Copies of this chain bind each other. A is one copy, B any other.
Amino acid sequence: MSFKKVRDAHKTENTEDYLEIIADLLNSKGEARIVDIANHLGIAQATANKTIRRLQYQGYIKKEPYRSIFLTLKGQELASISKKKHIIVLTFLKKLGLDSKTAEADAEGIEHHVSDKTLKKMEKFNKKN
């Protein structure tokens, strides 16, 4: 059923975005802090804090109180998959003719709802254009 799949996607969606952001921060700044994540997402720090707690007990990240965030292996893996999807969808939308801003905005939502089959088609399209 289509709707069930969408609901399942929504369950992991926020997790995927968090992990992608954390990976990016670790890459660029060397560390990922709650304040940066909150700013990135445009949400209150308290909200980011709560989600980070969930990500920790779900085994995606590790952190000590008042310290910065690290990805577990499980976290790294999901971050990597998410990043790949993000790039494919973003590139696809740009090749479709959209400006960077629109492509980025739409990709951020679409990336969580594309099956592997669709990703393959997008990659094919990306190579041809």
Complex contact A42–B3 (CB within 8 A): yes
> Which residues from 1 to 45 on chain A have a C-beta closer than 8 Å to any C-beta of chain B?
1-6, 9-10, 17, 40-43
A96-B121, A98-B121, A110-B110 known; A5+B105 contact, CB < 8 A:
yes
Closest B residue to A116 by CB, please name it. B102
Chain B residues positioned under 8 Å from A9 (CB to CB): 109
| Cβ of A127 under 8 Å from chain B | no
| Cβ of A72 under 8 Å from chain B | no
In the bound complex, what is the Cα–Cα distance between A104 and B106 (angstroms)? 19
- Copy total for this chain: 2
> A54-76, CB under 8 A of B: which get 1 and which 0?
00000000000000000000000
In the bound complex, what is the Cα–Cα distance between A106 and B89 (angstroms)? 13
In the bound complex, what is the Cα–Cα distance between A32 and B43 (angstroms)? 38
Smallest Cβ distance from A33 to chain B, in angstroms?
17
Cβ-neighbour of A109 out of B5, B40, B108, B124 (below 8 A): B5
Closest B residue to A105 by CB, please name it. B2
Q: What residues make up the interface of A, taking CB atoms closer than 8 Å to B?
A: 1-6, 9-10, 17, 40-43, 93, 96-99, 102, 104-110, 112-115, 117-118, 121-122, 124-125
